[in-house]
A = this chain, B = another copy of it.
């Protein structure tokens, strides 16, 4: 199917877009031809934004979130509670939690989750760095905000064990029914957990 395109340059552009996750060849063709209709400067700016991001973006030396500086805006914000660390899998999760406006502590981005199936072990993540942060003594609570999956459970268990020697409260975000969800359609495991973890009103 490589000789479909009337131009080698078009083919390379389609291949480029096709290499992105979730973008098939048909959409890739549409995107490439869309580029052709944009002014040259806009396309140059598109490419610059992406390559500059790839080349220049840093990770915060404290929490490993994406950052423009050595230490990110959250870690360097004097108004945030430095005694609480929320452990998350990736950058998207930081953005998602920040969007709730319900959390004022710091984060720790693991950079993934322990997954024997995908060959990701504890040493591939920033778990040692988390232990160091906790060992420094300033931290009082570590909130585990990991997915409710087997890999999430494994990672939570592993980190909890690592943090046992330190005088720190370990919590996990609540499982339960979604806001606006009907009981009838909630799966039994989630519903069961929401009963076990009931809260006083």
| Chain A contacts to B: CB under 8 angstroms | 4-10, 12-13, 15-17, 19-22, 27, 29-36, 38, 40, 42-57, 65-68, 72-74, 90-92, 94-95, 98-99
Q: Kindly report which residue of chain B lies nearest to residue A112, judged by CB atoms.
A: B37
- Looking at the assembled complex, report how far the CB atom of A13 sits from the nearest CB atom of chain B, in whole angstroms: 4
- Sample of 7 further A-B pairs with CB below 8 A, known A13-B53, A38-B54: A4-B95, A6-B66, A6-B67, A7-B72, A9-B56, A16-B50, A44-B51
Instruction: Name A's interface SS.
Output: helix
By a CB distance below 8 angstroms, the chain B residues around A31 are 20-21
Name 5 interchain pairs, CB-CB below 8 A, sorted by A: A8-B68, A13-B49, A21-B34, A36-B66, A40-B54
By a CB distance below 8 angstroms, the chain B residues around A49 are 12-13, 15-16
Q: Is there contact, CB below 8 Å, between A91 and B33?
A: yes
Set B16, B44, B53, B94: member contacting A6, Cβ < 8 A: B94
